[in-house]
Each structure stands twice: as C-alpha cells, then as structure tokens.
Structure 1
Amino acid sequence: MAGSSSHHIRNICVFGGSSPGKEKEFLESTNHLGRVLAERKIHLVYGGGSLGLMEGVSMAAFLGGSQVLGVVPKALATGDIIGKAIGEEIQVPTMSDRLNAMFSHADAFIAVPGGLGTLEEIFHISSWAQLYIHHKPIARQILISAATAEQLIDELQSFIPVVDSSMSQLNLSITERRKKLRLDLSLSL
C-alpha cells in the first residue's frame, strides 16, 4: 500500500498468543518481527508475560535494543500465570484497562497467531478504526501484501487511512454521550 503519506511509528503493539503455537514457523516469525522492530528502532508494546509467541517477539525486540512495554492485568501478574514481562511492566486493574493502555501507547498494531484473546484484541482495535475512533495503522488491513516483517513495517509506515466524512463527524466520547443522555424516569398518571 504505497502512498504519499508516511507515519512515523515509534511504538508498535503486537497482539499474539501466550503459546508458541503448533508450527515452529510461528515462533520463528515472531522472533524475526522482534528483531526487525529493534533494527528499525521501533519500540514494542504487548500484553506482557514471558510465554509463547509474546515471549518470542518481546525477547527478540528487547535483546535487539528496543524498549519493551508489557501491560498486564494485576490478577495475571500477581498469580504468576503468564510470567514476568520482558522489559518494563505496567499493571492495570482489568483486561479492558489493558487494551486501553496498549492502545494509548501504540502508533500501530500487528496481530500474530493467537487464540481468542488475540482475536478479541484485534477486533476491538479494528472496530474502533472502522468507527473512526482512531486512524492508527493495523497490520490486518495490509497483511496480504506483506510477505516479510520488513515489508509489514514498511506497509504500516506508508498507511493512509480512508476517511468517511459521515463517520468522522460522530462523537463517540463516553463523556459527551453521558452529557447528552438524560433519562426522564418520572411517572405520569
């Protein structure tokens, strides 16, 4: 997806599995992705922990010199369920807070193989993009044209969002909706 616009991506959020998957290529690919992020001086934001594909991408990025930020719900961090995050760790109260924190720290998103949690994360971020809540590039939009991690990063940096003027006028702010929402619960007999 070549274009005249170029994003300066400093932080990429990678969603993926806490399992290495059934194919060794999955782990090799995430390790390679982490190395490419480091080579390009792009920092990693991820769901924390030190298991599976998330460990692969985070360890490779960290060892390559990238800053790595793991965002972990307190319940998972204190229970030692997913292991210690590679690099810096932020603990948040809930899974929703985790996604919001990852979103706020990232300039772009990539999904690698994973389970239901990975699908949930990429669907949230994708639906927010569809509703024009954000215009950050998402690898799922351009993955077909990227055969390597290098091409994937290039495609993310040249991403140009398509803006639908009717959708961009929507105000989806919770604060604004609460101000406009007035329920009349009085009884009239």
Structure 2
Amino acid sequence: MGLMGSVATSTYVKRSSFLGIIARVFKENAQCRPTIGKELPFWSIPKRLALMFNNADAFIALPGSFDNVVESGFVFPEVRNFLIAIVIVEELSIKLQVFEYHPDLITQQI
C-alpha cells in the first residue's frame, strides 16, 4: 500500500470520508489498488485541479510535493498566505482547527 492508500485507510477507520481523485491511466493499467471511499477519475491535470478545488475542504501536500507544486506554477506567491506548513503530523489537526482564512484582492479572483 502506498502513502495515499495509508491516508485513505486511516481516514476510513476513523469513520470519516475520503475522495480519491485518480488518473484514469493508472486505473486502466492496474497501477492503483481499489479505492476506499468515493472515486473521481480524471484525464488531465486541469481537470484534476478543478475536481480537487471543488470537492475539498483542505489539501495535504506530501513531502517534496509542495515545492514541486510551487515551482510548476500551480501555487502563486500571492496565495501562500493561506497555506499551513508543518513538520510533525500531529500539528496538522491543531493548525487546521485554528486557521482563519483572510482573502485579499488577488485570492478573491482565483
């Protein structure tokens, strides 16, 4: 089981929901295990991002992935004010609970 599979399983065990947004090419080539919870397949990165933004309350970027997202231009410097960074996993729940989003002119247009 991969890292995202572990996250999905842990979420399911805690009686919460998990949405798997999975590339169809992975499903067609049997590179994914069965999804726990609801599954939304996609064909393109723009479609994946749209599905993620329309179906999530929060996102978790795994080690190394956030820098790649910023470098690839998916996260603009102007929107970093509503991102949370942690080193210890246990901090995530606490920081999400106390987080207050204050939109600015740039993020309101996204």
Point out where structure 1 has 5 or more consecutive residues left out of the alignment: 1-50, 173-189
**Residue 75 (structure 1) shift:** 1.5
Q: Select the residue among 63, 67, 78 that pairs with 1:130.
A: 78
Offset of residue 121 of structure 1:
7.2
Alignment of 1:78-93 (within 5 A): 78-93=28-43
Determine the structure 2 residue equivalent to 1:103. 53
The aligned length equals: 107
Tell me the residue number matched to 2:84: 139
Q: Percent identical across equivalent pairs?
A: 26
2:29 is aligned with 1:72:
no
Deviation at 1:112, TM superposition (A): 2.4
Alignment of 1:28-177 (within 5 A): 51-113=1-63, 118-119=65-66, 122-123=69-70, 124=74, 126-127=75-76, 130-131=78-79, 137-140=82-85, 143=86, 147-149=88-90, 151-165=91-105, 167=106, 171=109
- Deviation track 1:105-129 (CA, whole Å, cap 9, x = no partner) reads 1122222225xxx3477532x42x7
Distance of 2:61 and 2:22 partners within structure 1: 18
* Normalised TM-score (structure 1): 0.46
List runs of 5+ in structure 2 lacking aligned partners.
none
**TM-score using structure 2 length:** 0.72
Shift, 1:157, TM fit: 2.3
**Does structure 2 conserve the Cα–Cα contact (< 8 Å) formed by 1:74 and 1:91?**
yes
8 Å contact from structure 1 (residues 67, 87) kept in 2 = yes
